[in-house]
Amino acid sequence: MADFAVLAQNLLELSDQSIRDVFVEQTFIGGKLVHERKESK
């Protein structure tokens, strides 16, 4: 389980239907960056 995740958008500003489309930009576990989203070209 992640300590915290950085999301691409603020969930509080989205409709319920839009939340599932939000990308996870970064995930941290144990204070270390374990996932970082790579941009699609």
pLDDT in tens, 14-27: 999 999 999 999 99
Span 1-28, average pLDDT:
96
pLDDT at residue 41 greater than cutoff 70 = no
1-33 core/surface letters (b: 16 or more CB in 10 A; e: else): eeeeeeeeeeeeeeeeeeeeeeeeeebeeeeee
Model pLDDT, residue 40: 58
The pTM for the full model equals 0.75
Assign 2 a pLDDT band (cuts: 50, 70, 90): confident
